[in-house]
Structure 1
Amino acid sequence: MVIANEQTQNTIFTYTKWTGIPVYGGKIATIWALILFILLCCLEAAAIWKLIRILSGVAVYSSASRSLVARLSGTIFYANSLISLVLTWRFIAAWDDLSQHWLKNELLSGLNTAKDKYIKRKIIFVTTFVSVCAIVEHIFSMMAAIGFHCGSLEGCLRTYILISHGFVLQSYEYNLWFAIPIFILSKLATILWNLQDLAIILMSMGIVSRYSMLNLYTKKLIQCEYQKKLNYNKLSYQHIDQWRKLRRSYARQAKLVRLLEKHLGPLVLLSNLNNLYFICLQLYLGIRIMSRSWISRTYYLLSLTWLSSRACGVVLAAAAIILYSKKALPDLRSCSSATYNIEVKRLITQLTYDNVGLSGMKLFFLSRQSLLEVVATVIKYELILLQYDK
Structure 2
Amino acid sequence: MTVKRNDRRNDVDDPNIFCNGDTRKIWPLLNRRAITTSDDSAYQADAGVPEPGLFLNTSNASQRQKESRLLCQQDPESFHCAIGPILLVAQCFGLLPVCGVLSASSRGLAFRRRTLRAIYASVLTLTMLVVALSSIVHMVRSVDTQTFEIKATAGAVFYGNSVLGSFLFLWLAPRWAPLQQEWRAMEQLIDRWGRPRLRRKFSVITGIVLTCALLEHTLSMVKNTPNYRWNTTANMSLNNFLNEYSHNSHEFIISVWGYNLAVGMFLFVVSKIATFTWNFTDLFVMLVSTGLAERFKTLNTRMTSANATTPTIVEWRVLRENYAALSALVKRVDNDVSPIVLLSFANNLYFICLQLLNGLSRPDEDGILNSVYFFGSFAFLVARTVGVTLLAARINDQSRIALPVLYTCPAKAYCIETQRLEHQLATDDIALSGLRFFSITRNFMLAIAGAIVTYEVVLLQFNLAINHK
Match of 1:218 among 268, 293, 303: 303
2:275 maps to what in 1?
A: 190
Whether 1:202 and 2:320 are equivalent positions in the alignment is: no
What is residue 69 of structure 1 aligned with on the other side?
A: 150
For residues 1-390 of structure 1, what are the structure 2 equivalents within 5 Å?
A: 3-21=77-95, 22-24=97-99, 27-57=115-145, 68-108=149-189, 112-116=192-196, 118-147=197-226, 149-150=228-229, 151-153=235-237, 154-170=239-255, 173-225=258-310, 239-289=312-362, 290-382=364-456
Q: Which has the higher helix share?
A: 1
Structure 1, residues 325-378: CA drift from partner, whole Å, max 9, x if none?
010011110111121111111111110000110000010011111111211332
Structure 1 SS opposite 2:254? coil
Q: 1:370 to 1:9 in 2, by over 3 A?
A: same
C-alpha displacement of 1:125:
0.6
1:304 CA drift (Å): 0.6
Could you tell me how far apart the structure 2 residues matched to 1:303 and 1:49 are?
A: 27
On the 8 A contact 1:279/1:304 being kept in 2, the answer is: yes
| Counterpart residue type for residue 113 of structure 1 | W
Q: Percent identity?
A: 31
Task: Write the distance in 1 (CA, Å) between the matches of 2:215 and 2:265.
Answer: 21
**Aligned amino acid, residue 178 of structure 1:** V
1:29, distance to aligned residue in structure 2 (A): 3.1
Q: Distance in 2 between matches of 1:320 and 1:283?
A: 28
Q: Is the 8 A contact 1:315 1:368 kept in 2?
A: yes
- Report 1 or 2 for greater relative contact order, CA contacts < 8 Å, sequence distance ≥ 6: 1
The structure-2 alpha-carbon separation of the partners of 1:386 and 1:35, relative to structure 1 and needing over 3 Å to count, comes to closer
Q: Distance in 1 between matches of 2:374 and 2:181?
A: 43
**Letter of the structure 1 residue corresponding to residue 408 of structure 2:** S
Deviations 1:112-150 (A, max 9, x none): 31221x321011110111110000000011111112634
The residue type paired with residue 449 of structure 2 is V
Q: 1: CA distance between counterparts of 2:428 and 2:89?
A: 37
Output the TM-score relative to the length of structure 1: 0.88
Mapped contact 2:227–2:244 kept (Cα < 8 A) = no
CA shift, 1:10, in A, is 1.6
Measured on the aligned residues, the alpha-carbon RMSD in Å equals 2.3
Once the two structures are superposed, what CA deviation does each residue of 1:51-70 show, in whole Å capped at 9, x if it has no partner? Answer: 2222234xx76xxxxx5433
Q: Which of the pair has more CA radius of gyration?
A: 2
- 1:282 and 1:316 map into 2 onto residues whose CA distance is 22
Letter in 1 for 2:423: T
Q: Distance in 2 between matches of 1:52 and 1:267?
A: 27
Which letter does structure 1 place at the counterpart of 2:178?
Answer: D
Per the TM alignment, residue 106 of structure 1 is displaced from its structure 2 partner at its CA by 3.3
Deviations 1:172-212 (A, max 9, x none): 92111111111111100000001111110000000011000
TM-score by length of 2: 0.74
Q: CA deviation at 1:241?
A: 1.7
Do 2:129 and 2:163's aligned partners in 1 also have CA atoms closer than 8 Å?
yes
Closer/same/farther in 2, CA of residues 106 and 172 from structure 1, 3 Å limit? closer
- Specify whether residues 199 and 100 from structure 1 end up closer, same or farther in structure 2 by C-alpha distance, changes over 3 A only: same
What secondary structure, in the 3-state scheme, does the structure 2 residue paired with 1:19 have?
A: coil
The unaligned stretches of length 5 or more in structure 1 are 62-66, 231-238
Aligned length: 369
Q: What is the DSSP-based 3-state SS (H/G/I as helix, E as strand, rest coil) of the residue aligned with 2:192?
A: coil
Kept in 2, the 8 Å contact 1:2–1:103? The answer is no
**Which amino acid in 2 is paired with 1:261?**
D
Question: Post-superposition shift, 1:5?
Answer: 2.4
Q: Which amino acid aligns with 1:209?
A: E
User: 2-side partners of 1:185 and 1:259: how far apart?
Assistant: 33
Report if the CA contact (8 A) 1:265-1:360 is conserved.
yes
Paired with 2:256 and 2:343, the residues of 1 have a C-alpha distance of 33
List alignment gaps of at least 5 residues for structure 2.
Answer: 1-74, 101-113, 230-234
Give CA-to-partner distance per residue, 1:219-239, whole Å, 9 cap, x none. Answer: 0001122xxxx8xxxxxxxx2
